[in-house]
């Protein structure tokens, strides 16, 4: 899974659709307002950072497994406007 550019206000997580050994991966967000199932990020305008659970469902044939990740999306107010190109606080992703 990829990250985002620190200078981007609306980044997108790189969510793989295929894994090793012919597995397929589908992604589901518990709060698509902030993180879409496609990985697109929508930063809140202000307030506390938003926490979202992103679930990867890995399948091969009839076998299936899941893995969850905690995604923290900071708001647009966390941008450092003193830097060229306005640097935004990074979105963080932690495996649960």
pLDDT digits (tens, 9 = 90+) for 30-87: 999 999 999 999 888 888 899 999 999 999 999 999 999 999 998 877 555 555 555 6
- What is the pLDDT at residue 7? 39
| pLDDT class of 12 with cuts at 50, 70, 90 | confident
**Concatenated DSSP letters for 38-75?**
T-BB---SSSSPEEEEEEEEEEETTEEEEEEEEEEE--
């Amino acid at each position: 899974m990829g990250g985002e550019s620190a200078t981007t206000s609306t980044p997108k997580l790189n969510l793989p659709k295929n894994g090793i050994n012919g597995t397929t991966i589908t992604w589901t967000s518990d709060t698509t307002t902030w993180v879409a199932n496609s990985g697109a990020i929508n930063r809140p305008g202000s307030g506390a950072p938003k926490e979202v659970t992103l679930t990867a469902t890995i399948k091969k044939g009839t076998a299936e497994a899941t893995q969850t990740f905690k995604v923290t999306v900071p708001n647009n107010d966390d941008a450092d406007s003193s830097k060229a190109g306005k640097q935004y606080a990074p979105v963080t992703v932690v495996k649960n």
